[in-house]
Structure 1
Amino acid sequence: MSFSPNSSTPRPGGACPSVGVQLEAVVLPPVLILDVALGLLGNVVALWIFCCKLSSWNPNSMFLFSLVVADFMALLSLPLRVHALLWGFWVFGDGMCRINLFLMFSNRSASIALMTVVAVYRYLKVLHPLHRCSRMSRRAAALLSVVVWLLVVSPRVPLLFFNHIKGSGNQTQCFFFTTYGKTSASILILVKMHRALTVLEFVFPFALLLFCCLRISCFLKRRTVGRPEKMRKAVRVCVAIIVVFLLCFLPTTVTTLGLWASRSFRPWDCTLFYTFTQLTIVSFGLNFLNSALDPIIYVFSSSVFRKALLSSLPCRSSAYSSTSTSSSGGPSTTQQELQTISGDGGQPQPGTGSSKQD
């Protein structure tokens, strides 16, 4: 199916013709293939680190592991989408179409929510270290992860109850948001709910991320004592997540708003509707780029993950082992100096020991 100028006017009843595969068939396959390749590489390594290399988990590790699970939801669904784009039609049937759409959109919602949780947790650890949320147990962190999953997946469950196949024969496509009119009222409600979620699930978490980043930055500028490096690390975590938000999720939010505006204010303009629909579909390729970029967030936000990764590298493992042995098997350089100064081999002053890793 393809769009032609003759189909730029609505059909009787105000419905635009079905949108076919055009720009996305050219742009999306290489983008999605790159997303899958990089995402699998980074997330398989991350999964191996979490499952085989971390001896103990803290709340931050649990949030990041949930993010790995969300990434695998996308990585499992994208190969089917690539196949449909390269062959020009969907061959996997109605059931797989429903599951595919559910996994894709749940990945976006879960990734946004979990990255926000990681940033807020870091914010609380730095600015409100005595708050009970910043001192939560692993059990509480696991419960919070489950609650987040339920909140973000529940609105996507209706995708599983409707047929989203468009066309017939060798022209079938698996999209549910590419037509306007000539469909059931339930589908139209589902499309509107999807567009609202796409915008809201970006706007509110992004505002919260900006707040956390600005508060930590302002606090860091005013503070002259304490642990500024820990605060700088928290700022870097927030900035990394904000960059992922802007690169991966902002384009879809903007094009979705364009779709809403075109149907609300210019319902007769099918050309405008086609334009924003094509841009929206193409922008989904950037959505799934987060699966490739998320491992960078793991390294930025978790010193436990970072050290486990470094200890696993062949070129760093021996050096890391010797460093770990010297640091754990005997006093540090600072401790030795303090003992020399004190002259009696006593314990170092409070605040000089190592702190618990985040």
Structure 2
Amino acid sequence: MENSTYQLIEDCNATNKALYKFYAAVMIVIFILALPLNASVLHLFIFKLKFWKSNSNNIFLFNLVLADILLLFCLPIKAYNFIQGERRSENDVVCKAMLFMLFLNRGASIAFLTVTSIDRYFNVVHPGRKNLLRALKKSPQISVLIWLLLLPLTIPTMLKTFECCNSHKTTQDDTLVKDVVDSLREVVFFTQIVIPFVILVYCTVHIVNRLRKKTVGDRTKLRRAVFLVTTVMVVFSICFLPCALARMVLLITRIENMSEPAQDKAAVAFDGLMVLSYMDCLLDPLVYCFCSTKFKALYLTNYFPFLVKDAQVPTESSTGNMSHPTSHPTCNNVI
């Protein structure tokens, strides 16, 4: 029985089919809820805000929602594999295409969340200082550059054994090259999460301290701004840190050559927390809503007008400068 379980792990088949069907159901729910939400936000960025004409970080937020939508299209395929009792597609082309899309777009989502936080950091902590990011964000070139820089990072993650969590697994075919490739793959996985998290913590702490020391202005608006800058940290902590910790535990079970049941439990937990990471597509729109009260008003008046009472509908001329409404200077300086 133990050898049978070992073979299932090696073949990337689910040893607990009922649990993986639950994972699939969670992904389907995320897809159903997040796709129309992100599509509606994308529609606003393109047709109402005309993000390419904006000098604010609307360009970064547009790329963030674009990455989330592309990631969402992977979820039905992933859910189908789980329902079939497979941790990945048996078709090699489909498997590698899925890994490419998952890691590229999840990496882009993390990257644009991080860049947005860095931009907020300079706007709040060093408002008068010139910086390269402030100059570059006025054009889409920096967004294109971020996408291009992420492409090479997808190569190690698409290697055969990554999706099935078999890095550093003791086998008869162990070689120095295999160990180096496994290590490189794990470095890419962890740095994609750990480095942005450190940057987010640094930026958020300094932003919160700066806003708390600010004595001029409406305290309600200041509290709203503090809540805004912590939103990204919360989203990141919920979606990405748990799967990184689970991956670390899994690697320890592999390197220490623990029992197969222990390795299988660690792999199942990692798969489940990777599913949790897809919640990012559902939580990112919170960032857009807290960017500006005008964005929230624009969204409600376009899609839920019955919820808006005696509110002035934002015009396209005003939405083009949405990130800097005069009524909320503190919040918008943060964004």
TM-score, with length taken from structure 1:
0.75
Aligned equivalents of 1:231, 1:262: Cα separation in 2: 46
One-letter code aligned to 1:151: L
Tell me which of 14, 17, 20 is aligned to 1:21. 14
Tell me which of 298, 301, 325 is aligned to 2:291. 301
Query: How many angstroms does 1:50 deviate by?
Result: 0.7
Aligned equivalents of 1:123, 1:116: Cα separation in 2: 10
Q: Deviations over 1:262-308 (max 9, x none)?
A: 222x2253332222111111111111110011111111124553343
Tell me which of 23, 38, 41 is aligned to 1:43. 38
1:205 maps to which residue?
196
| Contact 1:128 1:134 (8 Å CA) reproduced | no
Out of 225-234 and 289-298, give the one that drifted further.
Answer: 225-234
1:75 maps to which residue?
72
One-letter code aligned to 2:186: R
Stretches of structure 2 lacking an aligned partner (at least 5 in a row): 319-325
The DSSP-based 3-state class of the residue aligned with 2:14 is: coil
Tell me which of 241, 248, 252 is aligned to 1:257. 248
Aligned equivalents of 1:220, 1:66: Cα separation in 2: 27
Instruction: Identify if the C-alpha distance between structure 1 residues 236 and 144 changes in structure 2 by more than 3 Å, giving closer, same or farther.
Output: farther
Aligned residues: CA RMSD: 3.4
Instruction: Identify if the C-alpha distance between structure 1 residues 18 and 46 changes in structure 2 by more than 3 Å, giving closer, same or farther.
Output: same
1:113 maps to which residue?
111
One-letter code aligned to 1:131: R
Query: How many angstroms does 1:103 deviate by?
Result: 0.9
2:232 maps to which residue?
241
| Contact 1:98 1:159 (8 Å CA) reproduced | no
Task: Give the number of aligned pairs.
Answer: 314
| Contact 1:50 1:65 (8 Å CA) reproduced | yes
Aligned equivalents of 1:126, 1:247: Cα separation in 2: 25
Instruction: Identify if the C-alpha distance between structure 1 residues 182 and 290 changes in structure 2 by more than 3 Å, giving closer, same or farther.
Output: farther
2:127 maps to which residue?
129
Aligned equivalents of 1:131, 1:293: Cα separation in 2: 32
Structure ID, larger Rg: 1
Q: Deviations over 1:16-66 (max 9, x none)?
A: 844521345233111111111121021011111111111442331111111
Aligned equivalents of 1:289, 1:322: Cα separation in 2: 31
The DSSP-based 3-state class of the residue aligned with 2:34 is: helix
Out of 85-94 and 205-214, give the one that drifted further.
Answer: 85-94
Stretches of structure 1 lacking an aligned partner (at least 5 in a row): 165-173, 329-351
Aligned equivalents of 1:242, 1:354: Cα separation in 2: 22
Query: How many angstroms does 1:159 deviate by?
Result: 4.7
Matches within 5 A, 1:90-169: 93-133=91-131, 136-137=134-135, 140-159=138-157, 162=159
**Are 1:194 and 2:185 matched, yes or no?**
yes
Q: Deviations over 1:186-221 (max 9, x none)?
A: 666544333222322222222222222221222223
Aligned equivalents of 1:323, 1:103: Cα separation in 2: 36
The DSSP-based 3-state class of the residue aligned with 2:73 is: helix
**Are 1:64 and 2:54 matched, yes or no?**
no
Query: How many angstroms does 1:106 deviate by?
Result: 1.8
Q: Deviations over 1:163-184 (max 9, x none)?
A: 56xxxxxxxxx94434733678
Instruction: Identify if the C-alpha distance between structure 1 residues 91 and 100 changes in structure 2 by more than 3 Å, giving closer, same or farther.
Output: closer
Query: How many angstroms does 1:116 deviate by?
Result: 1.2
Aligned equivalents of 2:289, 2:192: Cα separation in 1: 25
Out of 147-156 and 299-308, give the one that drifted further.
Answer: 299-308
Aligned equivalents of 1:282, 1:105: Cα separation in 2: 16
Percent of residue pairs bearing the same amino acid type? 27
| Contact 2:24 2:82 (8 Å CA) reproduced | yes
Aligned equivalents of 2:29, 2:243: Cα separation in 1: 19
1:276 maps to which residue?
266
Instruction: Identify if the C-alpha distance between structure 1 residues 187 and 303 changes in structure 2 by more than 3 Å, giving closer, same or farther.
Output: farther
TM-score, with length taken from structure 2:
0.80
Query: How many angstroms does 1:93 deviate by?
Result: 2.6
Out of 102-111 and 36-45, give the one that drifted further.
Answer: 102-111
Out of 99-108 and 288-297, give the one that drifted further.
Answer: 99-108
